Chain A
Amino acid sequence: GAVVSQHPSRVICKSGTSVKIECRSLDFQATTMFWYRQFPKQSLMLMATSNEGSKATYEQGVEKDKFLINHASLTLSTLTVTSAHPEDSSFYICSARGIGRVVAEAFFGQGTRLTVV
C-alpha cells in the first residue's frame, strides 16, 4: 500500500503557542489530503479537506483561523494549531488520496498526539 508519513508523532506545547504538523505522501502524489481529530475512545472526526494549490474546506464547527491548513505541493500538507489551548489536546491524523497506484483508497499517517499544557 501507499505510505503516508506524519510528523511529529507526539508534541507537548504550552498554552498560547502554535504547533505545526506535517503530512507527507511518500510514494504517490496526493491531490487531496484530509485532516481528522480523534478524542480518547471516540471515532475519527473530519476537520477539513485540502486540495493542492487551493484553500482548504473546513467542516462545520471547525475554526479555520485556529486550524490553518496549507497544501502547497502534491506530497505535503501541513496543519498548524494556532494559539493552542488545553481543549485542543487530541490525536490528529492525516489521510491522503490521489493519483498514482491507487486512486480511491485512502491511506493514513501515524497520527500526532498533541498535549497542550
Chain B
Amino acid sequence: GIQVEQSPPDLILQEGANSTLRCNFSDSVNNLQWFHQNPWGQLINLFYIPSGTKQNGRLSATTVATERYSLLYISSSQTTDSGVYFCAVQTNQAGTALIFGKGTTLSVSS
C-alpha cells in the first residue's frame, strides 16, 4: 500500500517563529488533506489540496503531485498552534479511505 511519511516527527518553536512541515507519499494520489488534531482529539480540516497552493491566514500549503510531496507552512506561530499535524492521502488503489502519516507534533512556547 501507499506510504505516507511526515517530517519532522517533533518540532519545538518559540512563539512568533515560522515552520515548514513536510509530507512525502509513495504513489499518485487524487486527494491530500492536512489536519490539526487538538488536545481533545478533534481533527480540524486545514486544507484539501491534491495539487497546487492554498492559503488560509497564517497557514498555507503546497502540493507538488508530480514529485509526491506536500508542505504545510505555519507563519508567526502561536501557542494555540500546538498539537499534532497529520497529512492524509487517498489513492485510487486504496479505495476511498484516507491513509494517514504518523504526524508531526508541534509545541509552541511563549
Asked if B97 contacts A46 (CB within 8 A), the reply is yes
Number of B residues near A (Cβ < 8 Å) is 23
Asked if A95 contacts B98 (CB within 8 A), the reply is yes
Number of A residues near B (Cβ < 8 Å) is 25
Q: Closest residue to A47 on the B side, CB-wise?
A: B97
A104 to chain B, nearest CB (A): 5
A107: which B residues are within 8 A, CB to CB?
45
Contact with B along A26-42 (1 / 0, CB 8 A): 00000010101010001
B48: which A residues are within 8 A, CB to CB?
102, 104-105
Asked if B45 contacts A110 (CB within 8 A), the reply is no
B13 in the interface, Cβ–Cβ < 8 Å? no
Of B17-25, B62-70, B100-108, which binds chain A? B100-108
B42: which A residues are within 8 A, CB to CB?
108, 110-111
Q: Closest residue to A108 on the B side, CB-wise?
A: B43
Complex Cα gap A107–B31 (Å): 13
Complex Cα gap A100–B88 (Å): 22
B35: which A residues are within 8 A, CB to CB?
108
- Most chain A Cβ neighbours within 10 Å, of B40, B41, B45, B103: B41
- B positions within 8 Å CB-CB of A: 30-31, 33, 35, 40-43, 45, 48, 50, 86, 88, 90, 95-103
Write 12 A-B pairs (CB below 8 A) sorted by A numbering. Answer: A1-B45, A34-B96, A38-B41, A43-B100, A44-B86, A44-B100, A49-B95, A106-B88, A106-B90, A106-B98, A107-B45, A108-B45
